Amino acid sequence: MNVKPVFDFSSEDNVGRMPDWIRQAFGNQEYAHTSKTIAQHALNTVCEEARCPNRGECWSRGTATFMLLGDTCTRACGFCAVKTGRPDALEQDEPQRVAAAAKAMGIDYIVLTSVNRDDQDDGGANIFAETLKVLRADQSEIKLELLTPDFHRCQQQAIDIISNGIHEADGDDFLVWGHNVETVPRLYKRVRKGSSYARSLDLLEKTIGKTSFETKSAIMLGLGEKHDEVVNVLKDLRAAGVNRVALGQYLRPTRYHLAVEEYITPQQFLEYEKIAKEMGFGWVKSGPLVRSSYHAED
């Protein structure tokens, strides 16, 4: 099975070569089936568009993270490989295609994410809601996880739309709502252009109580953050009511993206995991190749 590398190994990061503990998994026969199904239904995945290092492993397990609302983002985050520009019009049949692919792949736990669509009055929330309803109607036992944007300028409207969709899908008892803060506040202007740390926390806090699901966030490490800053972000997330958190190593997707400032050791990741669990997070994934949807079904 030939799987293209997801990193730009030809470019030098600020800390030299990638360490031995970072390894890219390759595919098997199930990988080919996953890839074919995604292509047949003309779907986008964050696995491909964001060059996720776990694509080989996840697709070989028959799982994928579907990326709604097209393949073009209205923002230009310095870490992200998803292309930026003027997006095409929304595809109203996308929810049906996602449901068909999920059924063909035999998925019983699905993660839905999206690009930012600041060009839309609802930020694309109606597509999220419709996808939830179609998935639930097609497979009544499927479990759902969302990884949404911050819905700049339409946050409360988008939360209400998606929450209503969850209720209509009878999905209150098996949903995780995620939104990634990604990095520490000090680095936002460089790492997450057009985003706001306070706005991200606000979204996570507002989702609490809308339905009986858990909330989740993720942090990338290795962009120049300090240990105390990471601990403070974890504290902020707990204060906002978040109970699931993922911590992973930032890996430079191309030479045009932010350079890696530090490779965090596996031992350091274990320390952050211990700190997070002591704070009361019920679900913690912390490691070099961890991403927000990595082993989400655990």
Supply the DSSP string of 123-171, one letter for each residue. TTHHHHHHHHHHHHHH-TT-EEEEE----TT-HHHHHHHHHHHHHHTT-
pLDDT beyond 90 at 195: yes
Residue with tokens 């949807």: 293
% of the chain beyond a pLDDT of 90: 70
Domain spanning 29-286, CATH architecture: Alpha-Beta Barrel (3.20)
pTM for this structure?
0.91
Do 250 and 220 touch, CB atoms closer than 8 A? yes
The reported pLDDT for the residue numbered 150 is 97
User: Which candidate, 69, 62, 71, places its Cα nearest to that of 33?
Assistant: 62
d(CA 226, CA 228): 6
* Residue range 3-61, pLDDT digits in tens: 444 444 444 577 777 888 887 666 677 888 899 999 999 999 988 888 888 788 888 88
C-alpha to C-alpha distance for 199 and 152, rounded to whole angstroms: 8
Provide the pLDDT for residue 213: 81
State the Cα–Cα distance between residues 63 and 60, nearest whole angstrom.
Answer: 7
What sign for the dihedral angle of Cα 253, 254, 256, 260?
Answer: positive
The string of pLDDT tens digits covering residues 68-111 is 999 999 999 999 999 999 999 999 999 999 999 999 999 888 99
